[in-house]
Amino acid sequence: MDSEKLTVADVQRLLTDTSEDARAAVAAKVASQFSTITLAPRERELAHEILGYLVRDVAVNVREALSRCLNDNPAAPRNIVLHLARDIDQVAIPILERSPVLTDEDLVGLVYYGSSDKQCAIAGREEVRATVSEAIAHRGDRSAVLKLIHNSGAVINEAAATMLVQRYADDADVAAPLVQRNELPALLVERLIAMVSEQMREYLVSHHEVDGRVAATLEEQARERATTDTIGRMGNDDLRGLVAQLAENNRLTATLILRAACVGEIRFVEAAFAELTGVPDERIWRLIHDVGALGFRAVYARAGMPEALYPAFRCVLDTYHAVRSSDGSLELDFYRLHVLEGLQETFETVAPDLDSMIDKLAKIIGPQPAVRSQHVA
């Protein structure tokens, strides 16, 4: 290890050798000592002085050498790290990507005043806390936003997520992965889906001269598909909260409930009918599954569901009861295939997949208002 220590010869070389490579070699040697060697107070003071000199070197590769050697060092001098972080991208990025010396406040400032590449480096850090994510959501370039959303180590809170939707509502590459992030609360995810869908409708009408009714249909279909995709990762409490929120905002539609049923999310179907009828969970389960066709018929009527869709629900529930194994498990691909075949036979309508099938059924029954919850005035 002694050979790695800074020596008088190194200092002499720094003062007399004008080549960039020589200064870069000394820079790397000095920087490495902060993590690999226990320095005496005077040695540390000397190393600080040399780093302060080198960090202002006109040669980019000298400053790069410092950045690469200090980027993951928690003992690196803060003033040196900050100086490197504010340097040109080529020098700053290794520090921005990894340095534990930088605080959240430092990173927020660097997001606000840094280049797109600097923002990307920060967005890709192993851990990105909420305040930094908010800064990227507010001021980040699109490339930095995409890196943040795909970074599993980034915390994206409600404020950041809402900001991102407002900025990129018509950008599916941003919106789609955002609503799929596991840490976002279920109720926030549904609100984001609604915001994205509504802004998509407005965009279609204003930019592509799509008829308002057609755009509204596309909005509803997109919202329902996205909502259905999020249901599977929710716990029971989140699921009930989601159902209540959908009902309160008139988004608990018959076709949404049918979509959930078709993909095997029967928990959502049960929770939706409990919400719409005011019947307790344990009773609603028996009425849907145990009492037979008449039990579900009574629940369906009490929920105010459209009569034209009853055969679709009956078909789906019959398929569910027929293919479910004795332990209650469901082989989803097998189930969904049989659901599609059953709906095609019931309605004599061919469709390549379940979403397309439900879209066709929605056209057959015509415009339908959202069903109303017993708990909503």
Q: Is 185 helix (H, G, I), strand (E, B) or coil?
A: coil
Q: DSSP letters of 231-284?
A: HTT--HHHHHHHHHHHHHTT---HHHHHHHHHTT-HHHHHHHHHHHH---HHHH
pLDDT at residue 9 in the model: 59
Q: How far is CA 361 from CA 73, 309, 322, in A?
A: 61, 8, 23
CA 199 – CA 196 distance, rounded (Å): 5
C-alpha 66 chain-centroid distance:
35
Ordered per-residue pLDDT tens for the chain, 377 residues: 344 555 555 555 665 566 778 777 777 777 776 655 555 565 667 667 777 778 888 789 888 988 998 899 898 889 999 999 999 999 999 999 999 999 999 999 999 999 999 999 999 999 999 999 999 999 999 999 999 999 999 999 888 988 887 888 778 788 778 877 877 776 677 777 766 666 655 655 565 555 656 555 666 777 788 888 888 878 888 899 999 989 998 889 999 999 999 999 999 999 999 999 999 988 999 999 976 778 999 999 999 999 999 999 999 999 999 999 888 889 999 999 999 999 999 998 888 899 889 988 887 766 555 566 655 33
* Whether the predicted model's global pTM rises above the 0.95 cut: no
The tally of CA atoms less than 13 A away on the side-chain side of residue 209 is: 0
Closest CA to 275 of 250, 293, 295: 250
The token duo for 260 is 């959930």
